[in-house]
Structure 1
Amino acid sequence: MRRGLVHVLAWLLATGAAVTLSWWGVHTVMAGTAYEPPRALPVAAAGAATRRPQSPAPEPPASPTVPPSPSGSPSSGSPAATPSRAPAPATASASPTVAASAAGRVRAYDTDGGRAVFDLGASSATLVSATPGTGWSMQVWRTTAWIRVEFARDADRVSVFCTWHDGPPRVQIGTY
């Protein structure tokens, strides 16, 4: 009986050591290759602090609206499926992070879903960077008159919409 107990104990120790060694090896390799989402470089602002534009209370569902492109047809990057609810637009009136650039002014808009940075010129705008927050995904649509960055997580959506088709660039943030 004692001999059988010694064999079982030896087998348990050897198995435990092998499992521990295997786990440690796999953990070490995976820790070095784990995916971390890329982070956008911060836009340097001369003493300006990043502030979040406040969004209004959610509105009831309505039909979605997308500004028309100058040609009247959707761009090749337009989404195939139309969302079931429209964003509740909120003009970004809070002070976003600002930095000067040669083409215009660079502004960063922080939202619950991520951060979008635009270079706003006198009559057009360009997307500098867009970085989704942890757990969020991102999609970008561009035309000659507007840029839309949408952050998505499960059923939550946050859109940062920059338009300049009928005047200087302006940015609206909507959640739906």
Structure 2
Amino acid sequence: MQRGLVHALAWSLATGAAVTLSWWGVHTVMAGTAYDPPRAVPISASARGGQDPTDGLSSSTQRPEPSRSPSATTTPRTAPKPSTPPPRQPSHTPADNSPSPARSAPRQGTVKSYGTDGGRVVFELGKDWAKLVSATPAPDWSMQVWTNSTWIRVNFSRDNGTTVSVFCTWNDHPPQVEIV
């Protein structure tokens, strides 16, 4: 009887240690892969054809443009304003009218959304470029994204083996989106 209790106790301890070690290993690996689900980004007014009250908002994937107005150089309110403008000094250097890279307008494209069974993908499409704005998987679907200089691929997959792929390519042609 005592021998049976010792074997049962040894088996219980070994099983408990194995389960604990397995759980700790899986938990450690999974903790590094967990992420917050992506948030949807509002579509701009130009894409919808109307006014958008959220035009001033930015998403976590796009930073707002810095202000170009010189707000730090404003004069205080108590400073008297001159009644006549100061005389202009003649310039001895030729004016440089060439556009500088810093002043060039940012690339702007058309924002288009594509819905699939696996989720929704939003691209900004230009004449010879494309940019992924957001990709949101549907419930019970997972997502993977691959990017390259001439294509973007978004895969939505399910545990049962179902996969939906959204391809956007623009190699020597305007961007084309294909859902497979």
TM-score (norm 1): 0.45
Higher-RCO chain (CA-CA 8 Å, sequence separation at least 6): 1
Structure with greater strand percent? 1
